[in-house]
Amino acid sequence: MTLLGLVAGIALVAALAALAKARRLAARLERLTESYWELRYEHGQLRARVNRLDPDQAAAASEASAPAGATHFVPLSSLKRQG
């Protein structure tokens, strides 16, 4: 019975360690995702400022650099969590 208790204890410790690591990774993923969307938002804001400063040159540059089927900007306000 001692061997069985030892194996169960080791399994419990391993499960708790895996759970702790999964929670840390989930928190890190959430921070990285938030940073990504903040950078996308700031990039869109800067692009809008550049377009206001020099609309002719900015329009020509965006048409030349935009690949077909490019993704569009998604504002942070539309990504708010539900509930």
CB contact at 8 A, 39 and 6? no
For the stretch 14-63, pLDDT in tens is 999 999 999 999 999 999 999 999 999 999 999 989 888 887 776 666 66
**Full-prediction pTM beyond 0.75?**
no
DSSP state of 79: G
**CA 78, 82, 83 angle in degrees (round to 5)?**
145
At 49, list the tokens.
């400022």
E strands, the chain, are: none
The CA-to-CA distance between both ends of the chain, in Å, stands at: 48
Output the pLDDT for position 5. 94
Output the pLDDT for position 54. 85
